[in-house]
Amino acid sequence: MSRLDSFIRRLSAQRACLDAAIAAVGAREGFVLEIGLGNGRTYDHLREAMLGRAIHVFDRQINAHPDCVPDESHLFLGDFRETLPEAARRLGRGAILIHADIGSGDASASRGLGRTIAPLVAALAAPGAWILSDQPLPLPEDADGWRPAGLPPGVEAERYHLYQVREE
């Protein structure tokens, strides 16, 4: 498969998973997290689809289109390993939808980052939240966190990852 075809399949899977999670969340209370702003496309999609919701964004540095940069009160800049715990202290466990797009092109490093941030994400996820990611977000076996959710039709396993946090 060409890199172009692979990119198109990834973005199609990403949009399908985002739309499925948005529909599943519905009108439930909670804020949204966008981990990995990148160029701002998914942030813009979330902003349009989830009008009126607070969307907190995380990235190492801003490289997004100027129209797709949140205001400073919703922006956490720096290493995820530092900014996610800071957000947990400030925001608490109220995120109803969490999207992590953290892949770097280095498969081993990207999967390692997913393992590292999974417990940090768990500290922000509200009961019943939906989490989607381009990388697996495994929790330790003894953690009471989330379970894999079924992927939307047309999304191949391992192309994207969708989870639902257990209700309390």
- The structural domains of the chain, ordered by start, are 3-165 (3.40.50.150)
Please give the residue that has the higher pLDDT: either 168 or 56: 56
Give residue 19's pLDDT.
97
Give residue 141's pLDDT.
65
Give residue 139's pLDDT.
83
**Is the per-residue pLDDT at 144 higher than 80?**
no
Write out pLDDT tens, residues 11-68: 999 999 999 999 999 999 999 999 999 999 999 999 999 999 999 999 999 999 999 9
Name the DSSP letter for residue 160.
B
**Is the per-residue pLDDT at 142 higher than 90?**
no
CA angle 19, 119, 152 (to 5 degrees): 20
Spell out the alpha helix ranges (H) of the chain: 3-25, 41-49, 80-91, 107-122
Residues paired with 59 in a beta bridge: 77
pTM of the model: 0.95
Q: Residue 168: which pLDDT band, with cuts at 50, 70 and 90?
A: confident
Closest CA to 43 of 30, 57, 31: 57
